[in-house]
Amino acid sequence: MADDPLINDPEGGLPRLARIMARLRDRETGCPWDIEQDFDSIAPYTIEEAYEVADAIARRDWDGLKGELGDLMFQSVYHAQMAEEAGLFTLDDVLRGIADKMVARHPHVFGDAVIDSAEAQTDAWETLKARERAARAQGGVLDDVPVGHAGLTRAVKLQKRAARVGFDWPEIGQVVAKIAEEAQELTEAAPEDRFEEYGDLLFVMANLARHLDIDPEAALRAANDKFTRRFRSIEAALAAQGRSPADSDLAEMDALWDAAKAAEKAARRG
């Protein structure tokens, strides 16, 4: 094994990674686990790695980001290898495709078009994407919004598409009123209808995020982090007394929560 060229491949980079992936999938000498995988079984790992990239960025862990980007790239190579085995396409096809797409979608960089702002570029990008959908005989406004997106993200994308053809509330107040309406329907719903009504409420909450130009997934991640941080403050305060949350009650923990909240606000003002 010491003379295996893939262990210390001087070519390095993406070509080496692709060759390693091919070796892992080799039916005779590869890894049994990797050989057994297919697109469906690997897709959840791909989504997980994308979230880990976002997490590293949120934590400003730049060394960690390097590793997470590598993990995410490996997922792309994994899917491309399986596609090549199935005779669908190759990794080179993937790379050529994305390169061609970026050139086509940036005519102001690789051509003579003039785009003088990020907002204008966003509008031009969506126009080009609409033409691409039409060329693929996808005429519906919502045709290519990926079903694999996180729920809130997909909701925003669906709403943005609908808004482009005028299907949207023009005022934020109307969205807020709809949230109140959906919340009321949820509280009054029969048990068998609560799942659907809760989904409706989340969908309208995503719409409010869109109107406020807020990424709902990022906002929820921030809320999760805040909850974690403050609950750990509760645990720390109780631990200093030789106790745990199980030894406390809601009133005491609420008071400790408020103290942690006040301390955070004071730190921000300082």
pLDDT greater than 90 at residue 55: no
Minimum mean pLDDT among 9-18, 180-189, 220-229: which range?
A: 9-18
Share of residues in the chain with pLDDT > 70 (%): 92
Contact 124, 104 (CB under 8 A): no
Radius of gyration of the chain (CA): 25
Q: Against a cut of 0.85, is the pTM above it? A: no
pLDDT greater than 80 at residue 21: yes
pLDDT band with cut points at 50, 70 and 90 for residue 108: confident
pLDDT greater than 90 at residue 61: yes
pLDDT band with cut points at 50, 70 and 90 for residue 79: very high
- Long-range Cβ pairs for the range 128-134 (8 Å, 24+): 128/104, 129/105
pLDDT greater than 70 at residue 1: no
What is the pLDDT, as a whole number, of residue 2?
Answer: 53
Q: Which two tokens stand for residue 239?
A: 């631990």
What are 116-153's pLDDT values in tens digits?
Answer: 787 777 777 777 777 776 666 656 778 777 777 788 99
What is the pLDDT, as a whole number, of residue 144?
Answer: 74
Nearest in space to 219 (alpha carbons), one of 156, 176, 134, 164 = 156
What is the pLDDT, as a whole number, of residue 83?
Answer: 97
Q: Count of alpha carbons within 13 Å of 30, Cβ hemisphere only?
A: 15
Region of 31 please: left (phi>0), alpha (psi -120 to 50) or beta: beta
Most confident range (mean pLDDT) of 21-25, 144-148, 159-163 is 21-25
Q: Provide mean pLDDT across the span 214-233.
A: 93
C-alpha 170/C-alpha 119 separation (Å) is 19
Most confident range (mean pLDDT) of 10-14, 151-155, 162-166, 238-242 is 238-242
C-alpha 83/C-alpha 97 separation (Å) is 15
What is the pLDDT, as a whole number, of residue 117?
Answer: 80
Q: Provide mean pLDDT across the span 42-61.
A: 91
Q: Which two tokens stand for residue 184?
A: 């009321």
Three-state DSSP state, 88: coil
Other CB atoms within 10 A of residue 100 CB:
10
C-alpha 57/C-alpha 63 separation (Å) is 10
Q: Provide mean pLDDT across the span 240-247.
A: 95
What is the pLDDT, as a whole number, of residue 138?
Answer: 59
